[in-house]
Chain A
Amino acid sequence: MSKLRDLLTQTKDVVYTAEFPVIDGGGMDQVKKNVERLAPWFAAVNATDNTAAHAHASNVSVAIAMKQHGLEPIMQIVCRDKNRLAIQADMAGANLHGIENIALLTGDDVTAGDEPETRRVFDLDGPQAINVASILNAGTYLSGRKLNPAPNFFICAVENPFAPPHDYRIERAMKKHRAGAQMLQLQIGYHPDRLEKFCAGVAATVPELALIPSVVLVKSSKPLNFMNDKVPGISVPQDVIDRVAQSSDQAEAAYQLALEQCQHALALPGVRGLHITDFRHDETLERLMHDLGRTPNQYT
């Protein structure tokens, strides 16, 4: 049973999601610690798939471990490292373990990672992978061969309303929805006007598509500069960086910026919740959730 699907389709609750930290060490104890930290606040949490083109404990294994510890996973599948056979195998494996939320992403390029010499795959692209998940939901693999029992995936995807070509991003969201996506996590962005236009456009055509904008918690202007300079697809306007950089209390200025972003996004049409990236800043996360009117364990 997907709690995420129930919350989005049967309630009007605000849905908060987050990113499960990558697992490179600490074993299952580390999984448990992460679950304890995130479970009180989030309806479901992303089990990432070699995020930022770095190898980590696999998407399927982390999703299973999260589920065993009582935290609902959104299992990401990225098109960069796996061909269509491997992608379908991930899906069938998720189905075997009762994982229902899956998110299909094109993925960062291999050049973003620490093994840029690797072969990039992209045998499928994001919208095709979404459609393949829909095909599995209907009880067959891509080839038409039967898969029994058929999965009951709640299909999620990602879109970046902030990157060019801006006018096309709404249509691309529609394409993902036509392929079967029911929820879109949106990438981090610092152009509220672009987010407004995107949400209004999507909500006007497919109001049932749940939009989940992302907000990142940082402690200074340094990560803002980093994202602007180094992360393709994210641009941070200079006045936003200056607002934090020129403050006498950078951590507080960065927090207020994030809080404003949350409040702004939650008021937009089609927005059903937020995706919070906190870089393990526990105190700030709790403060943010309290300021957004949340109390722990509201989803249980």
Chain B
Amino acid sequence: MPKLLNLLLAVEHGMKKPVWDCTMCGQCVLHSTGMTCPMTCPKTLRNGPCGGVREDGHCEVKPEMRCIWVKAYDRKVSLPLPTVWKEHYNDLRPPVDMQLKGTSSWVNLVTKRDQQTPAGWAKRQEETHSH
């Protein structure tokens, strides 16, 4: 089993690194962010752009780089992505679980490990969604 996990990890990293500069956060949200990885934001913001986006749509920290959230929004609007993915664009994404760093998000998706959040967070999400 560890061999299979290592293989999956290698395949996932091999595919995602060249395309999305994947950092293997282990809790992939690409599908809901216009196929743009929020972990490539210098502030690793998972819930939308900061207030420092420049007039030309470029990054506060790296002026040569287009803000990943400007890119994500453009792609969310223009790419023919499944509606269910687009509907999740403005979801409140939980804080990154640093324990998952370096693990396979595919495995974590299947085991639902990537949906585990701290008890306080989970309770609030339950309450706000039931309203």
Contact = CB atoms under 8 A, between A and B. Distances in A.
Given A144-B123, A175-B48, A120 B43 contact: yes
A178 B95 contact: no
Interface in A123-137: 123-128, 131-132, 134-135
Given A120-B42, A144-B123, A164-B55, A127 B48 contact: yes
A171 B42 contact: no
Contacts of A111: 60-61
A143 B118 contact: yes
A200 interface: no
Contact of A178 (B48, B92, B119, B123): B92
B119 A144 contact: yes
B60 A141 contact: no
Given A128-B47, A175-B90, A233-B53, A142 B60 contact: no
A175 B48 CA distance: 10
A31 interface: no
The range of chain B's interface size is: 35 or more
B124 to A, nearest CB: 5
B7 interface: no
B42 A109 contact: yes
A106 B51 contact: yes
A233 B48 CA distance: 14
Which secondary structure characterizes the binding site on chain A?
loop
B69 A165 contact: yes
A80 B50 CA distance: 12
Interface string B26-54: 00000000000000001111111111111
Interface string B91-131: 01111100000000000000000000011110110011000
A128 B49 contact: no
A168 interface: yes
B48 A172 contact: yes
A164 B56 CA distance: 8
B9 to A, nearest CB: 24
Nearest to A106: B50
6 contacts: A106-B43, A128-B95, A142-B120, A163-B52, A163-B53, A165-B53
Given A109-B60, A128-B94, A141-B120, 19 more contacts: A106-B43, A106-B51, A108-B60, A125-B46, A127-B92, A128-B47, A128-B93, A132-B121, A135-B121, A143-B119, A144-B118, A158-B51, A160-B51, A163-B54, A165-B49, A168-B48, A172-B47, A174-B90, A233-B51
Interface of A: 79-80, 84, 106-109, 111-112, 120, 122-128, 131-132, 134-135, 138, 140-145, 158-160, 163-165, 167-168, 171-172, 174-175, 178-179, 187, 232-233, 235
